[in-house]
Chains A and B, each alone.
Chain A
Amino acid sequence: MKLGLTLGGIAAAAVLATAAQADKLDDIIASGTLRCAVTLDFPPMGMRDASNNPIGFDVDYCNDLAAALGVTAEIVDTPFPERIPALMSGRVDVGVASTSDTLERAKTVGFSIPYYAFENAVVANDKVEMTDWEGMKGKTVGATAGTYEAIWLEGQVKAWGEGEFRPYQTQADVFLALSQGQLDATVSTVEVAEANVKSGNFPGIRIVDKAPMVPDYVALFAMRNEYGLINYLDLFVNQQVRTGRYAELYKKWIGDGEPADLSIPGVYR
């Protein structure tokens, strides 16, 4: 009798202990939905189709991740400055939002290995004389607030000591301002620049030069302490490349050519 009670107590404690150990990965699988933060004004990574439904590289990537987990994906449209707050407030489970894995951000959230790498281009208004990236000196330039390229560009403007930097809230506002001639030039990822020039939505803009920046490696992110989930994300990114799905998505959304190399020679991780 006494033994039974003790055993029962141990069993109960064990059940409680396991319950307490259920982590985010378990929660996602149990809830049946994966909520991804995706930025939908960042073509071709995230955008909307004619009936205003989300599409793009990041949207597909989230769908793949959900499929791997055996759950349904829910795309939560999240502007760039809101990505990390959205995760911290528990509104989303992971970020699939072309997020640069900066050390400053890693103080707040946990990053997977890079799943994509951008090169950045300088895009200028047709009316502005500019032959290379240094032509931006002294001009009015802008980029999307809080992005990798915005931080770089603002630093450049400060270093040049002339010209003006304007951060807009969305990528679309930046290109709108550029097309209207309110900005002389902007720096954006080559993918976004090409998609926007090609779409014809923004008349009067052209790609001038590559920006001399370290490639912008972007990663998936989750809560900093959710190692189980981050481990899973790492393996998922690896599998996407291994199975050729990465190249397939590249071809579908960005076009022909070699997808960016995600490994960094000479160093681990």
Chain B
Amino acid sequence: MFGYTFQWKQALSKLPQMLDGALVTMEIALLSMAIGIALAVLLTLFRLSGNRALNGFAVTWVEIARNTPALFQIYMAHFGVASFGIHFSPFTSLLIGITFNNAGYLAENFRGALKAIPETQTRAGRSLGMTPLQAFGYIVMPQMLRIAFLPMTNQMVWAILMTSLGVTVGLNVDLYGVTQDLNALTFRTFELFAIAGVIFYLITKVIQLGARLVAARLFRY
């Protein structure tokens, strides 16, 4: 029926290498999310600060992250900034690129979430003697993170998917990089990438399931 002979056995024998790659992929995604959330909170604070320079910085970051391709951001983190003599390893470049992207999108999600939190709460906190930062940290931020939990889960899935762009900056230890290396050696393109696709699918399902469990535990009303 097909003018093509599938060689699944040959491809499946590479599964251990690909699973090692999957671990690196998850490592990059988790790191980029952790740092990304921290940066996004910082950017949100900058926007709330009322300081024009800080606000401008945050807005610029968010708009660039949201209006250019992730591929562009990662390529820039490796080859672009190297023009200034700043060198990052492929791993770091990919991490920076994805983190930059995560922070931008998450900051925008946080901004949306803030709209749902009445300003009177901050004022109430302030009148109890809290500093503005305390009011944000103890009253607003926990609610903000809760409201933005679903978008954060989505961003985590995107972070996983974005790791596949690491090959453009010379990374070959993540799942996509490993798969492409194996493909260059054996040319079983369809078989290898189908396996990689299944692994990616399973990873995202695990993350979505995990997020649901976490949400069920943390956000009981």
Contacts and interface: CB of A to CB of B under 8 A. Distances in A.
Check whether chain A touches chain B (CB < 8 angstroms): yes
Interface residues of A, number: 26
Interface of A: 81, 84-85, 88, 104-105, 107-109, 142, 145-146, 150-151, 164-169, 173, 176-177, 180-182
Contacts of A109: 187
27 contacts: A81-B183, A84-B187, A88-B4, A88-B187, A104-B185, A104-B187, A105-B187, A108-B187, A109-B187, A145-B167, A145-B184, A146-B183, A166-B90, A167-B170, A168-B169, A168-B170, A169-B167, A173-B168, A173-B170, A176-B79, A177-B82, A177-B170, A180-B79, A180-B83, A180-B87, A182-B78, A182-B87
A232 to B, nearest CB: 21
Contacts of A169: 167-168, 170
Q: How large is the interface on B (under 10, 10 to 19, 20 to 34, 35 or more residues)?
A: 20 to 34
Nearest to A102: B185
Contacts of B4: 88
Nearest to B87: A182
B24 to A, nearest CB: 14
A181 B186 CA distance: 31
Given A166-B90, A167-B170, A182 B187 contact: no
Find the residue from A108, A145, A165 having the highest chain B CB count within 10 A.
Answer: A145
B16 interface: no
B170 A81 contact: no
B143 interface: no
B55 interface: no
